[in-house]
A and B are shown apart, each in its own frame.
Chain A
Amino acid sequence: AQSVAQPEDQVNVAEGNPLTVKCTYSVSGNPYLFWYVQYPNRGLQFLLKYITGDNLVKGSYGFEAEFNKSQTSFHLKKPSALVSDSALYFCAAPPGDTGRRALTFGSGTRLQVQP
C-alpha cells in the first residue's frame, strides 16, 4: 500500500523567495505521486504528478516537484513565491489496493506568502 505524509502544518515565506512544501511517501513498488492545491472556498485543483521518468516534474502556475527515491520524498517547489500562492497544498498517492482508484491524501500544508 502507498501512503504519504506532510510533516509541516504551515509554511511561511516572503513574496519573491523560493518555497518548498514537503511530502514523504511510503510505497511498495513504483510510486505514483500527485500534488493538489486548494484555494479558499474552492475544491482541489491538480498541480502535477509523477508517474515515472524525470525526477523533476513541472506543473501548473510555475510549480515543480522533485522526486527523490533515496529520501522517499516528493517536495513541491517554486523559485519565487507570489502572495496568490497562499493556499492549502495536498500531496497524494493511489493507495495501491487492487481496484482502488481513489487517492490517499496527506494532511495538508497551509502556505502563507507574506507581501
Chain B
Amino acid sequence: DVKVTQSSRYLVKRTGEKVFLECVQDMDHENMFWYRQDPGLGLRLIYFSYDVKMKEKGDIPEGYSVSREKKERFSLILESASTNQTSMYLCASSLGQGIPIQYFGAGTRLSVL
C-alpha cells in the first residue's frame, strides 16, 4: 500500500511565524503535490514537484514556498503565516507517467491565530 505521511495532524501557529509542513511518501513516486482544502472551494493546488529540486507553482502559490531535497520528502513552507492561511493542507504523490492516481496524506489542519 502506498503511504503518504504528513508530520502533523493539527498545528496552531501565530501570525508572522515561519511554518513548515512535512510530507513523506514511501512508494518512490516522482510527483508530489501540496493542496489547500477550504469548504466550498474544493482542493486548490499550491505547488507541485515532478523531480528532486524541481518545483512548479500551482494556482495559489502566494505566501508559500516548497522544498524537495529528497525524492520521498516534500515540504511546504509558510514564510510568514497569516490568518487567511488557516486551512486544511493535503499532500499527495503519484507516479511520473500518464494520468496516474494521486495518493493523499491524512492532512494537516493549520490554525493561524
Give the chain B neighbours of A106 by CB distance below 8 A.
Answer: 42
Shortest beta-carbon distance from B58 to chain A in Å = 6
Partner of A44, one of B45, B48, B90, B96: B90
Q: How large is the interface on B (under 10, 10 to 19, 20 to 34, 35 or more residues)?
A: 20 to 34
How near does chain B come to A65, taking the closest CB pair, in angstroms?
A: 15
Partner of B101, one of A42, A49, A102, A104: A49
Indicate whether B4 reaches chain A with its CB closer than 8 angstroms: yes
A-B contact count (CB 8 A): 59
Q: How far is the CB of B74 from chain A (nearest CB, A)?
A: 13
Query: Residue A107 contacts which of B41, B45, B58, B94 (CB distance < 8 angstroms)?
Result: B41
Give the distance in Å from the alpha carbon of A95 to the alpha carbon of B50 in the complex. Answer: 16
Report which A residues bind B (CB closer than 8 A).
6, 9, 32, 34, 36, 41-46, 49, 51, 90, 94, 99-108
- 10 A-B residue pairs with CB within 8 Å: A41-B106, A43-B92, A43-B105, A44-B92, A46-B102, A99-B50, A101-B94, A102-B33, A103-B43, A105-B35
Binding site for A on B (CB under 8 A): 4, 31, 33, 35, 40-45, 48, 50, 56, 58, 90, 92, 94, 96, 99-107
